[in-house]
């Protein structure tokens, strides 16, 4: 029995129908190269008859070498009352010169009547003639039966007949599409029994996630005997998206024992997911299964305590199998194990009593509005400050901030900062476009001669959240600051009823963290 499941990626076509995605030609070529290197069997590059960019894509890939993937051109069956030789859409598919083609046709009588505006017999002829025409030209044909499951529920005999016509005319695989994404897993498996009884060719599945069952429906179809799976990286697609290949692939390979990509590629899955998200200019949902940053993050104290004894206690797989990593989160829900685990990650030698002290401090501060799961650098400073030999790189004596409106310049902020470095007292002032900017400039000005590395340290992001808005202007404000030095990035937190105080706390921590974590020399 063939244990292979063939993966058909349609990120470059169906995925780009997601709201907010617009890939350039170069973007599509880069993603195609990543998919090929990863070991995807089919890459659907687009619809060459629909827009110039897709036509240009097929022109460009013609000069590229693909080691694992077949580039596939997508299009519809011929138009009604038109011969295949005269159909511009089919000619555009042939002009793309791809070894495989995907043809989409109607299997739901509602679409035949209301969308195509033709009759049932003509639609069957459109399917059969289009598939046969592509086979005459030597193409591998993937026939996508659009809206198949809705069509089956409305008129089962006609939906099955549409598949039979495609298969009889040479389709290499007929793909059952849950285009509206409303089917449930037991419906998929039940309907597949009838399909396998009637169709004598390879069968595939293409699902959408409108009912939240895109992945489940795909896995159910494979369990029922399907061996061709369509989907997109990160589940990109129209409306709420297509079935997510970044979830389907590890489920198939790890959980179900199917062969769908080279074994050594699975460890690059997280990297692939994040690269495609970056190219698409979208933030990857941190809670995405397998590849999200939170997929193997542990926050509850009893969870982390168990994990420290046995990693399998609260993880369904080893994270490195998919190129991800285990993380420990620090919060008011944490136990000492969380702190000890995080200290080990930071390379800080901490005993159980110090961990208890830090945990007590974290719980007290989080009750005041701090949030350390988003600010691990501030948490690491707590551990450092408890070390008996710790010497802070600088100490604050006092600061002052004034905001003035000047007739010639509008609003201007002035800050003065007095800090101690060793036995030196440093007192500086700076002007900024706001109070936090002025404080940042004044602190750096005071420290730069002693710590020139700070010239390479930059504030990357500044977030403010009002925690108890019902208190109006007296509400507690939480400030999170992200700081960067080259490729390194860290987050710090402050909280206070005074936004300047909250900002100073986060700013102070961000600079201290930079100076104690291998950056003092500045290279």
Report the chain (523 residues): mean pLDDT per 10 consecutive residues. 90 93 92 96 91 89 93 95 93 95 95 91 95 97 96 96 97 97 96 95 97 97 97 96 97 96 94 93 88 72 57 76 74 52 58 66 68 72 78 89 79 89 91 88 91 89 78 76 86 86 89 75 37
Partnered with residue 46 across adjacent β-strands are: 73
Q: What is the pLDDT of residue 28?
A: 94
Backbone angles phi, psi at 140, to 5 degrees: -75, 125
DSSP β-bridge partners for residue 143: 103, 174
Q: Give the global pTM.
A: 0.74
Question: How many helices (H) and strands (E) in the chain?
Answer: 17, 16
Which token pair is 169? 């005319």
416 strand-pairing partners: 400, 429
- The answer as to CATH 3.20.20.70 being correct for domain 6-261 is yes
Half-sphere exposure of 392 (CA within 13 A, CB side): 17
Residue 96 confidence (pLDDT)? 94
pLDDT value at residue 273 = 94
Phi-psi region of 208 (alpha: psi -120 to 50; beta: other; left: phi over 0): beta
Q: How far apart are CA 475 and CA 220, in angstroms?
A: 51
Strand order in the sheet with 424-432: 395-406, 410-421, 424-432
How far apart are the C-alpha atoms of 33 and 64, rounded to whole Å?
9
Cα(202)–Cα(280) distance, rounded to whole angstroms?
33
Tokens 């994404």 appear where? 181
Q: Among 219, 265, 237, which Cα is nearest to 68's?
A: 265
Burial class (CB in 10 A: 0-12, 13-18, 19+), 62: exposed
What does the alpha-carbon distance between residue 443 and residue 460 come to, in Å, rounded to a whole number? Answer: 17
Pairing between β-strand 488-496 and β-strand 477-485 as defined by DSSP bridges: antiparallel
CA distance 395 to 419: 5
| Other C-beta atoms lying within 10 Å of the C-beta of residue 352 | 11
User: Using an 8 Å Cβ cutoff, are 508 and 500 in contact?
Assistant: no
Tell me if 154 sits within 8 A of 191, measured CB to CB: no
**Distance separating alpha carbons of residues 123 and 338, to the nearest angstrom:** 62
What pLDDT was estimated at residue 74? Answer: 96
Looking at residue 52, its pLDDT comes to 85
Nearest to 99 by CA among 39, 45, 141: 141
Closest CA to 107 of 159, 152, 65: 159
SS3 204: strand
pLDDT of residue 64: 92
Q: Please tell me the distance from the alpha carbon of residue 291 to that of residue 282, in angstroms, as a whole number.
A: 15
Spatial contact of 198 and 215, defined as CB atoms under 8 Å apart: no
């Amino acid at each position: 029995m063939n244990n292979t499941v063939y993966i058909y990626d349609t990120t470059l076509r169906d995925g780009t129908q997601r709201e907010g995605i617009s890939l350039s030609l170069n973007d599509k070529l880069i993603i195609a190269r990543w998919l090929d290197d990863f070991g995807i069997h089919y890459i659907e590059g687009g619809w060459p008859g629909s827009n110039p960019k897709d036509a240009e894509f097929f022109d460009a890939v013609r000069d590229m070498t693909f080691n694992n993937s077949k580039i596939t051109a997508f299009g519809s069956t011929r138009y009604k009352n038109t011969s295949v030789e005269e159909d511009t859409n089919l000619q555009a598919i042939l002009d793309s010169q791809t070894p495989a083609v995907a043809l989409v046709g109607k299997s739901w009588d509602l679409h035949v009547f209301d969308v195509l505006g033709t009759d049932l017999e003509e639609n069957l002829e459109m399917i059969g003639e289009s598939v046969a025409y592509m086979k005459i030209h030597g193409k591998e044909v993937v026939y996508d039966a659009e809206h198949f499951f809705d069509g089956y529920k409305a008129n089962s005999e006609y939906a099955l007949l549409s598949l039979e016509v495609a298969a009889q005319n040479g389709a290499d695989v007929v793909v059952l599409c849950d285009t509206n994404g409303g089917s449930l897993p037991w419906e998929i498996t039940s309907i597949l029994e009838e399909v396998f009884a009637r169709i004598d060719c390879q069968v595939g599945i293409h699902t959408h996630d409108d009912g939240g069952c895109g992945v489940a429906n795909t896995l159910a179809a494979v369990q029922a005997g399907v061996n061709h799976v369509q989907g997109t990286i990160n589940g990109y697609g129209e409306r709420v998206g297509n079935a997510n290949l970044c979830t389907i692939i590890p489920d198939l390979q790890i959980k179900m024992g199917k062969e769908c990509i080279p074994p050594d590629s699975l460890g690059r899955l997280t990297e692939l997911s994040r690269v495609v998200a970056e190219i698409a200019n979208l933030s990857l949902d941190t809670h995405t299964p397998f590849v999200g940053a939170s997929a193997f993050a542990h926050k509850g104290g009893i969870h982390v305590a168990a994990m420290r004894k046995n990693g399998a206690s609260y993880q369904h797989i080893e994270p490195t199998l998919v190129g991800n990593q285990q993380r420990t989160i620090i919060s008011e829900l944490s136990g000492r194990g969380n702190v000890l685990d995080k200290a080990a990650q930071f390379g800080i030698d901490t005993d159980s009593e110090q961990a208890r002290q830090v945990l007590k401090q974290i719980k007290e501060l989080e009750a005041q509005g701090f949030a350390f799961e988003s600010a691990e650098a501030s948490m690491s400073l707590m551990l450092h400050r408890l070390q008996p030999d710790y010497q802070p790189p600088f100490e604050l004596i006092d600061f002052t901030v004034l905001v003035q409106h000047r007739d010639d310049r509008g609003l201007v902020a002035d800050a003065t900062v007095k800090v101690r470095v060793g036995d030196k007292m440093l007192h500086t002032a700076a002007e900024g476009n706001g109070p936090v900017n002025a404080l940042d400039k004044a602190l750096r000005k005071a420290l730069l001669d002693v710590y020139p590395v700070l010239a390479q340290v930059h504030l990357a992001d500044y977030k403010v959240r009002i925690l108890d808005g019902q208190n109006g202007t007296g509400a507690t404000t939480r400030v999170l600051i992200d700081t960067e030095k080259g490729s390194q990035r860290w987050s710090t937190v402050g909280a206070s009823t005074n936004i300047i105080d909250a900002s100073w706390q986060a700013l102070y921590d961000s600079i201290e963290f930079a100076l104690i974590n291998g950056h003092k020399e500045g290279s």
